Amino acid sequence: MESTIDIPPDHAWLVPSDLTFSRHILGRCIGASDDVFPLSINHVDFAKRADAVLKGLKQIYGPLDHNNTDKERPLQEHVDNVDALLNEAWKLKCTKLLELIMGDLVDQLVEIIFGKVNVDNLSCAESLCLVLDSLVNNNPQKHDDQKFKKHTTQLKRFISDMWEEKEKLQICWTVPEKIIISTVEESRNEDIMNYFEENKISADDERRRIKIVQSLERAIKKSGEWKKSELKLYGSSLSTMGVKGCDMDLSLTWNDPGSNSRSLSAMIGEARRSKEASLLNRNLKGEVAGLLDQAQEDLKKSKYSLQTIMDSLKQPDQGQKIPSKK
């Protein structure tokens, strides 16, 4: 029986559950001339998950494949995945392979952002820019951050250009929403009021409708069992909110005729008629006050003219000699 060889903790990656990936990562270490192999199982786990994310990013620009769900994912989801991986790798000890994988992730994602992002989803670029800025400003493991700084500068310039383009488009094409709403509402209100003023129930129509109700009520009360009934008008005919030719809503009740119950329509109608009467009275009062002021002004002028005439009659004629006193 062969003895089991103890593998040092620093080389725990040599016995991963996925032997195919173990061979793959060894090949990448050799290709990167990494003199320090992955130092822990965390390095191996990161490399394995990063490899899957990289494949998904590369398929975004790949040929159409109905089984490929990476193209259908929101771009922000890819940014979040890369963000999580970078923050995890940033805590691990530096190796050449680790730096290479992080660089591949950022390169691929930035390329996609430059090709896919527009003014409508600019937040994806802003989000990645914040991630890279945060990593550069907090680098306890002293990772090589030159590539991150380079991409941060490019992203900031890209974001600035996109915002300028968005502002230009808004200036050229955007009409203030308040102006549109205000104009439409004013026009609609004016049309409604004009139609109502032209077609509203006139005072004669209102009197005819009331007479019809009174005639019907008298006819109904002729029957003994209906003597205490009341026939009342309600709805738009009573509130005066109806238009010419509208129907009449009638309510037949058995309430005590002496009760003071009134319908809402009746109160609305009374309030409307009261308002119209007060407006009419106010207009009449204004006209009367104006006429009175004019009459008083004319009276003052007349008095002044009369006084002038009286004064002129009292003065002696300049050509007439005044007899001297002896």
pLDDT digits (tens, 9 = 90+) for 24-51: 777 777 777 765 566 677 888 888 889 8
Owner of token pair 């007349």: 302
Residue 30 structure tokens: 């050799």
Domain assignment present for residue 73? The answer is yes
Residue 204 lies in domain: 199-266
Residue 170 structure tokens: 């808004």
- pLDDT at site 150: 92
Note every long-range contact of 101-106, with CB atoms under 8 Å and residues 24 or more positions apart, other chains counting. Answer: 101/46, 101/47, 101/50, 101/51, 101/54, 102/50, 102/143, 103/147, 104/50, 104/54, 105/50, 105/53, 105/54, 105/57, 106/82, 106/132, 106/147, 106/148, 106/151
| Mean pLDDT estimate for the chain | 76
**Do 67 and 152 lie in a common domain?**
yes
Q: Does the structure show a pLDDT above 70 at 292?
A: yes
Residue 295 structure tokens: 């009459």
**Do 212 and 142 lie in a common domain?**
no
**Do 204 and 167 lie in a common domain?**
no
- pLDDT at site 102: 92
Among 155, 173, 191, give the residue marking a domain's end.
173
Among 249, 266, 283, give the residue marking a domain's end.
266
**Do 49 and 121 lie in a common domain?**
yes
Domain assignment present for residue 161? The answer is yes
Confidence of residue 107 (pLDDT cuts 50, 70, 90): very high
Confidence of residue 245 (pLDDT cuts 50, 70, 90): confident
Split into its structural domains, the chain has a count of 2
Among 134, 156, 173, give the residue marking a domain's end.
173
Lowest mean pLDDT among 109-118, 128-137, 245-254, 257-266: 257-266
Domain assignment present for residue 313? The answer is no
Q: CA separation (Å) from 233 to 166, 247, 256, 261, 263?
A: 61, 11, 17, 13, 9
**Do 132 and 256 lie in a common domain?**
no
What is the average per-residue pLDDT within 6-10?
Answer: 53
- pLDDT at site 5: 46
Q: Does the structure show a pLDDT above 60 at 321?
A: no
Q: Does the structure show a pLDDT above 60 at 94?
A: yes
Which element (helix H / strand E) includes 105? helix 96-116
Domain assignment present for residue 38? The answer is yes
- pLDDT at site 265: 62
- pLDDT at site 218: 85
Confidence of residue 2 (pLDDT cuts 50, 70, 90): very low
**Do 120 and 260 lie in a common domain?**
no
Q: Does the structure show a pLDDT above 80 at 71?
A: no
**Do 54 and 138 lie in a common domain?**
yes
Q: Does the structure show a pLDDT above 50 at 116?
A: yes
**Do 211 and 160 lie in a common domain?**
no
Domain assignment present for residue 292? The answer is no
- pLDDT at site 221: 81
Domain assignment present for residue 102? The answer is yes
pTM: 0.47
Domain assignment present for residue 26? The answer is yes
Domain assignment present for residue 205? The answer is yes
**Do 161 and 229 lie in a common domain?**
no
Q: Does the structure show a pLDDT above 60 at 225?
A: yes
Strands (E), the chain: 230-234, 249-253
